[in-house]
Structure 1
């Protein structure tokens, strides 16, 4: 149960971080490709 709880908290915390990373990477990607 503890492992499952930590796994859920990690995934829940990972989703917003991944969304922020995507928002930051999207504007940078075209610049790096050009």
Structure 2
């Protein structure tokens, strides 16, 4: 079953912080999530 749009994506706060930092700098690389 899919997650509702109202709740938004289920993302770990640490991972989200990494992604936002990468977006600011324009960096593109693979993020290991295990």
Shorter-chain TM band: 0.3 to 0.5
When normalised by structure 2's length, the TM-score is: 0.40
Q: Work out which of the two has the higher radius of gyration on C-alpha atoms and give 1 or 2.
A: 1
When normalised by structure 1's length, the TM-score is: 0.40
Higher RCO, 1 or 2 (CA under 8 Å, sep at least 6)?
2
